[in-house]
Amino acid sequence: MTVKDIFETMDYGAAPESAGEALAWLKARGGIAGNYVDGTWGPLRADIDVMNPATGERLAGLTKSTPDEVATAVAAARKAQPKWAKLGGHKRAKFLYAIARLVQKHARLLSVMETLDNGKPIREARDVDIPLVARHFYYHAGIAQLMDDEMRDREALGVCGQIIPWNFPLLMLAWKIAPAIAAGNTVVLKPAEFTSLTAMVFADICTEAGLPKGVVNIITGDGDTGAALVASNVDKIAFTGSTGVGRAIRAATAGTGKSLTLELGGKSPYIVFEDADMDSAIEGLVDAIFFNQGQVCCAGSRLLVQEGIAEEFHRRLIERMAKLRIGNPLDKCIDVGAIVDPVQLERIKTLMATGGAEGTVHQPCPAPEGCYYPPTLVTGLHGSSMLMQEEIFGPVLVSTTFRTPAEAVQVANDTRYGLAASVWSENINLALDIAPKLVAGVVWINGANMFDAAAGFGGVRESGFGREGGWEGMMAYTKPAGKAVAIKPATKHLKPDTVAVLDLDRTSKLYIGGKQSRPDSGYSEAVFSPKGKLLGHASLASRKDVRNAVEAAHAAKGWGKATAHLRAQILYYIGENLSARSDEFAARIAALTGTPNGKAQAEVEAAISTLFTYAAWCDKYDSAAKPVPMRGVALAMKDPVGVIGAFCDDRPLGGLIDVIAPAIAMGNRVVAVASEAYPLAATDFYQVLDTSDVPAGVVNILTGNHAELAKPMAGHLDVDAVWSFSSADLSATIEGESAGNLKRTWVNNGQSRSYPARDWLAQSTEIKTIWVPYGEG
């Protein structure tokens, strides 16, 4: 073969990596991967076979941990946690730094073990996964060092249960463990049953680093073991995996008080405009979808190409796909390795057999025998095609076209997922116009699959909630310092034996879409003062009223696009108009609650102050440019969550203002359910809204029974988040119902605490990380 032939065919000679050291490591440990608990190994049983997906050969046995063994690991973590947290940030930082150094030292062993276990090409494990693992521990060593000063009002959660997937076994371990132990938590981590071997090497690294016993505990097993960990006595569950399992975990943890973050599936759009650099876009696309055999939650699996260049783009893409090299993952010349397991391979084949006929299937690069699937392109699909909507999790790219930028956004957002997206255009103005409009937690401009420990990663919609990486990722592993106290519910004042009849009926209506609205139920209830005086009637909202309020909130979506300056002006105006009527509101609060006028006046003044505080924050809660190691910038943009349903606490006015002010300051729309015991101050407040230039639908106020309204509010698929500070026991209902569309929740679990402004602002925003490379080379 001549040099010219080699360049034309890209037929490289084999460059195999030796697996000898990794196999010897396994043999020295009895050929079994098992639990690492309290700094020691055991039990070690070959309950499950661990296979090499590239060859089908058995690599090791795997222990399936029982619920009792899971409980033992959690107990070890619980015992170690107080001492670990009290070490302080500097001493924790030294341990994380040591782990990072040892990951680099053992990089070759880790890379080979990952490839043997997972089937990914050794080049990817060596050049992407392992360096990022070290980067996460280095970065979070720095976070630990700074925490005592920069997060002095926050503290560790306690014991964190962590469940990771098989597609990036060691990298997902680092994403979970590094921030958790940096914050002072201890962890019990369960790797995937297909890919537990690098977690075992990592356990050895923890021992070598001198990490105190019980800080990191690793339990092995299958889904039953994961379910036992979810049900165990942990303070948090962090899960990365399928949307279906994430939904089950959300339901299982509802009402338990456990913190929860979910990083789930995706069907990410890869948008190519006609002015894009076509060669670069094709190379980026190859990385976006065929990296790790397409077994990537944020893979660019939906190609959206502008109609004018679609035919040429597809032709050149197919030519490029034909040059991909698929085969032995330990060969350094291989582009595409093995599918992780025959079960996953069969799933890919089934989906293709079911939906492939809707388009034209192109497979220019044949796959060898075994657990391999050829790189595939399916063209001619429409947006609602099954393959365009379902996550395939394999090397399958599906494609459709668009004509205008507006249509590109519409098609891109036509999915139940919201993890990542890529935008390709040489017009940076166009790219930066499109990126904020995409419903995704991460957007790459002229690039794909860029990750760094400094930049938050995570999704919205059914791609989950929470962020991993950066300061925002640390929030999920901490809580406000101090203890919460049990809520003592306010009691409604009972109807006296004799009621003075009002001259005129004073039934307060609901406030929906900027208008007073009668309740659909047609019912209301009397509200009495402590001395038995009839103060008026409050409407009793129903499921249909929730629906109407949510529709009105969605109709006000322009509020999220309003400038921060405009939102601030309106919040200041609300505060000004409330101040003008402060005596009236104080009198109403005193009449409702029986508190002294001075205390009632203080509640009004506090509400005015809250409005002014969040008016001030409107244009000062900054986005950030993350210092990622690239020629470019990763912008952490703070987007509004969307429509927030909120159940207020028992303060007649303060409970309402506390949820409205931060939410609308950040561009959200609110459906607020007022104090159940004292609703009339909230219904008076909509008169203030009417005179304060608040657009219709931005604030909607319902009154009625919290327990009855919790289910329709939390179950509504067009509500993006639900907060509850109610004295009623709503937490289990809200968290359970939220599993439908995996919306964010913020509930009190029957306890009350004072939250700093930044906590309210964080709950009112989503971080969207927009990666913008720059420069010529």
- Residues assigned a catalytic role: 263, 297
For residue 129, give the DSSP letter. Answer: I
Residues pairing with 443 in the sheet: 421, 770
- The CA–CA distances, whole Å, from 707 to 305, 711, 713, 724, 734 equal 48, 8, 10, 11, 10
Burial class (CB in 10 A: 0-12, 13-18, 19+), 26: buried
Q: Using DSSP bridges, classify how beta strands 632-640 and 765-773 pair: parallel, antiparallel or unpaired.
A: antiparallel
For residue 722, give the DSSP letter. Answer: E
Q: 72 and 154 in contact (C-beta within 8 Å)?
A: no
d(CA 23, CA 296) in angstroms, rounded, equals 27
Q: Work out whether the CA dihedral 63, 65, 71, 77 comes out positive or negative.
A: positive
What is the identity of the amino acid at 353? A
Kindly compute the dihedral angle of the four CA atoms of residues 512, 518, 522, 523, in this order, to the nearest 10 degrees.
80
Structure tokens at 26: 């396994």
Residue with tokens 């338990």: 256
- Which among 711, 708, 748 has a CA at the least distance from the CA of 733? 711
Q: Output the 3-class SS for 676-713.
A: CCCCHHHHHHHHHHHCCCCCCCCEEEECCCHHHHHHHH
Q: Angle at the Cα of 451 (from 627 to 15), degrees rounded to 5? A: 125
Q: 438 and 765 in contact (C-beta within 8 Å)?
A: no
Phi, psi (rounded to 5 degrees) for 387:
-70, -20
d(CA 61, CA 41) in angstroms, rounded, equals 14
Q: Angle at the Cα of 401 (from 396 to 404), degrees rounded to 5? A: 140
Q: 559 and 722 in contact (C-beta within 8 Å)?
A: no
For residue 127, give the DSSP letter. Answer: I
Burial class (CB in 10 A: 0-12, 13-18, 19+), 588: buried
- Which among 713, 601, 556 has a CA at the least distance from the CA of 647? 713
Which residues, at least 6 apart from 142, have a Cβ–Cβ distance to it below 8 Å?
A: 93
Which residues, at least 6 apart from 330, have a Cβ–Cβ distance to it below 8 Å?
A: 16, 17, 19, 54, 112, 115, 116, 122
- The CA–CA distances, whole Å, from 345 to 191, 264, 293, 299 equal 20, 20, 11, 17
Residue 657's Cβ-side half-sphere holds a number of Cα atoms within 13 Å equal to: 28
- The CA–CA distances, whole Å, from 642 to 623, 664, 734 equal 18, 10, 17
For residue 562, give the DSSP letter. Answer: S
Residues pairing with 635 in the sheet: 625, 770
Q: 117 and 50 in contact (C-beta within 8 Å)?
A: yes
Q: Output the 3-class SS for 728-742.
A: CCCHHHHHHHHHHCC
Structure tokens at 577: 């108009």
Q: 477 and 156 in contact (C-beta within 8 Å)?
A: yes
The helix/strand/coil state of 362 is strand
Q: 386 and 355 in contact (C-beta within 8 Å)?
A: yes
Q: 277 and 441 in contact (C-beta within 8 Å)?
A: no
Cis peptide before 43 (omega within 30 of 0): yes
Q: 196 and 274 in contact (C-beta within 8 Å)?
A: no
Work out the end-to-end distance of the chain between its first and last CA atoms, rounded to an integer number of angstroms: 33
The helix/strand/coil state of 613 is helix
